[in-house]
Structure 1
Amino acid sequence: MFEEYFVKPATTDRFRGSWIGAEIESYLEWLVREGYADKTIWRRVPIGYAFGEFAWVQGARTVADLPEHVEAFVADRVASHLARFGSDRSMVKEVRGPVEQMLSVVLPGFEGSGRRHQRVPFVDVLPGFFDYLSSERGLRASSLFQYRHHLSRFEAHLSRIGVTSLGELSPTLLSAYMVERSATGLSKSTVRSTAGVLRVFLRYAHREGVIGTDLSGTVGWPQFYRLSNIPRSVSWEGVNRTLAAVDRRSPVGRRDYAILLLLATYGLRGREIVALTLDDFDWKRERLAIPERKAGHSTAFPLSPIVGDAVVDYLQHGRPDTSDRHVFFRAAAPQRPISSAAVSALASRYLRAAGVSVPRPGSHTFRHSAVQRLVDADMDLKTIGDFIGHRSARSTEVYAKVAIEALREVALGDGEEVLS
């Protein structure tokens, strides 16, 4: 495969003649498979070759010996660059990245020094807690992530104040922590989530005998009244302005336009967008299936022609050639399905580009806008809840606050007809 990307025979002979020539070629095949651009391949493969030659001189004789020479190679290349150009800015990343990426391809289990998976908090004292959450409580991966998020901050707080054992916890200490969290400007819902996570954690710690007293009841949380907020929707005119801001001439634009249409038309959640597969589109019957909603049930929608055309445009002229059945993919290598965070980020980006002002813009903005349109069309809340996948009708009640015309009639008249 070297000849497909490197023109000079001397270059391909040099790569193939390396003592890790097979590994370098495997790395090249992986880069191609993951959709990396040619210019990226031209830059990274030679670095992999240079690293192999450097490691050989330093005494490496097997592929398993390579990781111990990474730091020395990076230091050598950075020093050489500094001597020639007088700057080493970004060079460490430019050298280390390709080397560690190649090692992750050819050495199973190799983990580089870059971004790591989030450490599991309190794993040393309560190693079974997250297994308990997933197996006994049946929590989803997204919920487990939230537990790690909140408990990591609690663990860091305890370390900062010098608490080395959960046995030192007390109602006073827990109250002080909750006060600190409340004072940092977090929303009431976030502080309440922190309290809920701590209560579950403390009950489990007591059950396992790590703490002698069940302290879960001493964790206070802010009052959070149902229906106290107004959904952060934008007008349908704002939705259309946002859609018009998408440049659909590029693969990224085609993908983003299709995603925004799905959000606005069906009120889908970001995670429902990323879970869509080619099998969920029934083109013959013009139906769209959403098989795994938050409430655990499925929904089937009539497939809007506008949405269908946008998805087809992306599938034909934007989606990478892959055997993966997911619909939407990252635009940059490595080739992976898009994440829910990316869906929310792109929605926020286009809202701002269109000059549409809304608190905390994101994918849920379009979901709220879809519901607002249904409310304006005088659909009952039960039907709306079924449409957007609410488990309980109580979750839809907040949208009664945005039934503007009905509320206006109440304000201007006696309201008897509206309330009857």
Structure 2
Amino acid sequence: MTERTGERLAVAVDAFLAHARHGRGLSEQTVRAYANDLEQLVAFATARGVDRLSDLGLELLRDWLWDADHRGLARSTIARRSSSVRAFTRWASESGWIASDPGVRLRAPKGASHLPRVVSSDQVRTMLDGLAARAATDDPGALRDLAVVELLYAAGIRVSELVGIDVRDLDRGRLTVRVLGKGGKERVVPFGVPARDALEAWLDRGRPALLASAQAGDGHAPGDGRAASAGEAGAGRAAGDGHAAGGGARNAAPAADALFLGDRGGRLGVRGAYRIVARLLQDLPGEGPSGPHTFRHTAATHLLDGGADLRAVQELLGHASLGTTQIYTHVSSARLREVYRTAHPRA
């Protein structure tokens, strides 16, 4: 391929983003992160008189990261910027836009290592018991919330995978659900009897009530009274609402096909799921995020604590790399050390 060394840097960035979105099929969240970082790079380079891709050198890239550090940006942000620009320059080199890759020697500080938040098994049990008590009244919103949390914890799925599930993806007989993960990869994930019972109650009594209410046009679930959350879209859910991690095409399916519905009868969106979980976790002790991913972290940690094989947990979570799954062994080790310190007389 002929080198395009005279191209403007901004043009090359646009071409890279198009390749990331359509050529590699990356999730919208990943593409947006690339776009934000590279727009910052273009602005930084332009302010220093660098407008052409061919003039983009290692020193300028290092200055860009140094500037971010000088302005107090988090190490994780700087590490992400480094990753974004290295992906861009590698693509530009391999695609023939430039003769050599200026980012190949770029290094940035590793992001700060934070163990994910994990909820104890007793806390999970208390939380689910409280949800079950609410659901016993047959309130549609409570039936849905119980089914959402049971499935998040039982299957360890991402929130984007959860909101992309259609009714036909659920196999209640085999206790499995088909989800669409990162990069459009499908996998079948098992869940347990308590999750099945919660899902059956939702499908039999909660979901029809919400759907009928929406079709009647009164805008909220009978007896629910809550305003729909900001993330709960209608039948044609806004693009990106459920693509935070999975980027699944099934998220564009009609709301009538969706397993989980929002308070107005449309497909439950990512932000709606976040609200459901955040209400439950806000009063629990512990630091860290209070979103649906907490249940994914918790499920993985509890599986490993219970003796599950690391590769089996990797398959369940849909991790491409075993290294990603291994963070949960660190969580378990951290908990073991804490137990040791508090329980052993000579700790």
TM-score class, shorter: 0.5 to 0.7
Q: Match for residue 316 of structure 1?
A: 208
206 and 397 in structure 1: CA distance in 2 versus 1, 3 angstrom threshold = closer
Q: Match for residue 78 of structure 2?
A: 191
Looking at structure 1, the residues matched to 209 and 152 of structure 2 have their Cα atoms a distance apart, in angstroms, of 21
Note the 1:66-81 alignment, pairs <5 A.
none
Q: Match for residue 328 of structure 1?
A: 260
Is residue 272–residue 290 contact of structure 1 (8 Å, CA) maintained in 2?
no
390 and 201 in structure 1: CA distance in 2 versus 1, 3 angstrom threshold = closer
Is residue 181–residue 318 contact of structure 2 (8 Å, CA) maintained in 1?
yes
Looking at structure 2, the residues matched to 282 and 209 of structure 1 have their Cα atoms a distance apart, in angstroms, of 48
AA aligned to 1:380 is: D
Q: Match for residue 275 of structure 1?
A: 164
Is residue 140–residue 206 contact of structure 2 (8 Å, CA) maintained in 1?
yes
403 and 210 in structure 1: CA distance in 2 versus 1, 3 angstrom threshold = closer
207 and 288 in structure 1: CA distance in 2 versus 1, 3 angstrom threshold = closer
Please point out which of 295, 301, 305 is paired with 1:366: 295
328 and 302 in structure 1: CA distance in 2 versus 1, 3 angstrom threshold = closer
Looking at structure 2, the residues matched to 194 and 409 of structure 1 have their Cα atoms a distance apart, in angstroms, of 39
Displacement of 1:400 after TM fit?
2.0
Looking at structure 1, the residues matched to 191 and 99 of structure 2 have their Cα atoms a distance apart, in angstroms, of 57
Q: Match for residue 18 of structure 2?
A: 131
Question: Greater relative contact order: 1 or 2 (C-alpha under 8 angstroms, separation 6 or more)?
Answer: 2
What runs of 5+ residues in structure 1 fail to find an aligned partner? 1-120, 414-420
Is residue 289–residue 299 contact of structure 1 (8 Å, CA) maintained in 2?
yes
Displacement of 1:169 after TM fit?
3.4
What runs of 5+ residues in structure 2 fail to find an aligned partner? 1-7, 216-234, 236-253
Q: Match for residue 5 of structure 1?
A: none
Looking at structure 2, the residues matched to 236 and 389 of structure 1 have their Cα atoms a distance apart, in angstroms, of 23
Looking at structure 2, the residues matched to 161 and 310 of structure 1 have their Cα atoms a distance apart, in angstroms, of 62
Q: Match for residue 113 of structure 1?
A: none
Q: Match for residue 261 of structure 1?
A: 150
Q: CA RMSD in A?
A: 3.7
**What is the aligned-residue identity percentage?**
23
From the CA coordinates, give the structure whose radius of gyration is larger.
Answer: 1
TM norm structure 2 = 0.67
Looking at structure 1, the residues matched to 110 and 259 of structure 2 have their Cα atoms a distance apart, in angstroms, of 41
Is residue 178–residue 220 contact of structure 1 (8 Å, CA) maintained in 2?
no
**Secondary structure class of the residue paired with 2:78:** helix
Describe the superposition over 1:71-108 as per-residue Cα deviations: whole angstroms up to 9, x where unpaired.
xxxxxxxxxxxxxxxxxxxxxxxxxxxxxxxxxxxxxx
Q: Match for residue 383 of structure 1?
A: 312
Is 1:403 aligned with 2:332? yes
Is residue 384–residue 396 contact of structure 1 (8 Å, CA) maintained in 2?
yes
Displacement of 1:141 after TM fit?
3.4
Looking at structure 1, the residues matched to 151 and 73 of structure 2 have their Cα atoms a distance apart, in angstroms, of 31
Displacement of 1:218 after TM fit?
4.5
Is residue 54–residue 98 contact of structure 2 (8 Å, CA) maintained in 1?
yes
Is 1:145 aligned with 2:32? yes
Displacement of 1:151 after TM fit?
2.0
376 and 204 in structure 1: CA distance in 2 versus 1, 3 angstrom threshold = closer
Note the 1:20-59 alignment, pairs <5 A.
none
355 and 156 in structure 1: CA distance in 2 versus 1, 3 angstrom threshold = farther
AA aligned to 1:173 is: L
403 and 211 in structure 1: CA distance in 2 versus 1, 3 angstrom threshold = closer
Q: Match for residue 347 of structure 1?
A: 277
AA aligned to 1:311 is: W
149 and 252 in structure 1: CA distance in 2 versus 1, 3 angstrom threshold = farther
Describe the superposition over 1:196-233 as per-residue Cα deviations: whole angstroms up to 9, x where unpaired.
111122234456676665321253211359xx542321
TM norm structure 1 = 0.57
